Structure 1
């Protein structure tokens, strides 16, 4: 973002972040504050540090595009922040497709999370991995892993059984004709199983 943008200079954008935090996130409500950093090395380093400091002052979830460009320092984003002790568990690193083993180790030490971008990375894993990316890992990255993300007693979940012998990459189409005598597939929502009847049991 250029300094001549309609959003103002960097100092003005930081001030506006604090204004939004004061206006909408001053109490423990239903909203969770998050902030996306400017591209690392796209600004002078002291401004990146200022963005991190502002986000942490407000206890915001920090999102950073990390390791998404081969052959360039822009959006590398692991080695330098790690050397300065700036990585942390409050960060979600998006992409991470160019990281080497040392950079992955730095992220692991920091407790930071990784978010997979659908357009770029989704086709690189197995169906089981993709399911975990969109459930357990996503809930953990949002700081909601204690409430949602897995079928665990005490957590909230909406679940529909769709049949099939195993977790597969392709859907299994049920071509059996429906009839009034066939019962709908069970559905679990907000902790209760339903099966098309008036009764429900805890799930």
Structure 2
């Protein structure tokens, strides 16, 4: 009987470790980078690199948001995307929320049409090459995720990326749908449940 208890305890411990690993696996620097760089590659923008200084800024700032769990931009030196959700909001799900805004970005007019798209344009901003993100559990049980971008993006009258003329002729017809569907397919595999609340 004692042997069975030890085996059961070992199995439960292994399952718990697997669950914890899965939860944290979607919040690692590599996961944030992979989600961002997949979106960037879909529009021909080079990859970002993780930057510990930018990540420390994100971590310090989000720690200050823990008490009230309100999304207030830092006004710091970096570009910034914030997401708020339930306790189990994963970093990859936050990036998916931002990337989902691609459908509201009109390349021809370089503007958001119908809804917000500036989170998406920051993700794919070609001049932003360093990334740092942080996730904090709020006192009320919610989660805030911040990603910061260096140098910042979303400058007026600048496009987040440029298409070569031959690429643009093809992409203007499909409005980037097929490229971004690959990104969304990847992100959907990473996170099956996405918080649909305010962000």
TM-score range, shorter chain: under 0.3
More helix by share: 2
Query: RCO (CA 8 Å, sep 6+): is it higher in 1 or 2?
Result: 2
TM-score, normalising length from structure 2?
0.24
TM-score, normalising length from structure 1?
0.24
Structure having the higher Rg:
1
